[in-house]
Amino acid sequence: MASPAASLLDALHPSTKALISNAFWGPHPTWALFHRDADQFEAYWKFYHRECERALHDGGRHVLARTHQDILDVVTALEQDKSRENIQLTLRAKLTKTHDNEDELVDRSIDLAASLWLMVDFGNTQYGFCGRRQLQWSGESFKNCVASGFDSTPWLGHKGVKLQRVFNALNLDRIAGVEILPTSNLLDHLRLTDDDTKLYIFHHASVLKCQTHKYVNKHPKFTRWLLTPTSTAFPDGLIAETIHTLALLFPQSDAGVSDWSRQLPNFDEFDPHLLLCGHLKTDDRQIENFTYWHDRLVVLKQVFDEATPRTFSQWWHDRRNGVQWYTFWVAIVVLCLTMAFGLIQSVEGALQVYGTFRSGTGS
């Protein structure tokens, strides 16, 4: 049987997975116990293994951590709200010989453990995190550092912004031409790139649900997710609000969105629980209910509202304005009928001329 002392580069044994998940999120919530036929956290374990391989690149000369236990030890210290300096001293004591890059070895280990635990990028982009938002943790408390990455103060106005049922991932793709891409970095959730043509979605719903199971969220607008009284490294309300954004864009009750999602070429990279986040009622879909993701939702809704159909497929699916949609297709039908009748009349006229010509020739 594998143990937490196994190498970070080895394939994860089920018992090791259970130990890590319990340390990170506590006992699995009820919904996970009914799916023993499959690993509901497979998407997370792919992320975990990928990040470990990335950190240990070049023979692991940039990071001190070598085993899963090394990661768990740092996460335990982070949960206890120990300072970075305190954790650094503890890790330095594990060094068996001197190194020219001791600071780097220690700091990369702390950043790796924090990234694996919270699924938030920490550290230096020089070592494989290029193109993704990151947090740099130095002297402040760990919780304050995490909070700095998620501003709860909306800066953009939302007058006239309505999050209708039609505002979902399927229509963002079909109408606005926005490609949906998965991300394992919570900082990149709902981030638009490439001239607003690509949207990153933090899809690890299984992990988010475990966070809401383990931690209490004191956010008054999302009390339905509160379960047990304890603290969290995340700001109050962030995890519950993130789940609400997934329910907004991937409503569980919309079969069309579910069918479309499963047909995405990269759907095997997504957490399957992305499609099991429930759906939002009208009251829950008010933009005022969102604080941490407010500004990104406002921008995304603006991109959606300003999108104009450029193909017949987009015209067919764009039913945001019912009157305009009916007017357009009635005009298309009338145009087609006019052309058809015109063609028929032209053919009839040609046949009449031809018949007259034949009659004249025969006489």
227: confidence class by pLDDT, cuts 50, 70, 90: very low
CA distance 270 to 98: 42
Please report, in angstroms and rounded to a whole number, the separation of the first and last CA atoms in the chain. 104
Query: Phi/psi class of residue 300: alpha, beta or left (left: φ > 0; alpha: ψ in -120 to 50)?
Result: alpha
Residue bearing tokens 């407010």: 294
The string of pLDDT tens digits covering residues 134-162 is: 999 988 899 999 999 999 899 999 888 99
CA distance 278 to 207: 15
pTM across the whole model: 0.81
362: confidence class by pLDDT, cuts 50, 70, 90: low
Rounded average pLDDT over 259-285:
93
> What single-letter amino acid sits at 325?
W
Q: Please write down the long-range contacts of 57-64, taking CB distance under 8 Å and 24 or more positions apart.
A: 57/127, 57/128, 61/101, 62/101, 62/104, 62/105, 62/108, 62/127, 63/105, 63/108, 63/109, 63/112, 64/91, 64/94, 64/95, 64/105, 64/106, 64/108, 64/109
The string of pLDDT tens digits covering residues 288-339 is: 999 999 999 999 999 998 877 766 466 545 655 555 555 655 666 766 777 7
C-beta separation of 292 from 241 below 8 A: yes
CA angle 222, 225, 228 (to 5 degrees): 125
Residue closest to 55 by CA, chosen among 142, 137, 114, 131: 114
CA distance 245 to 300: 12
Q: Which tokens hold the place of 196?
A: 């607003």
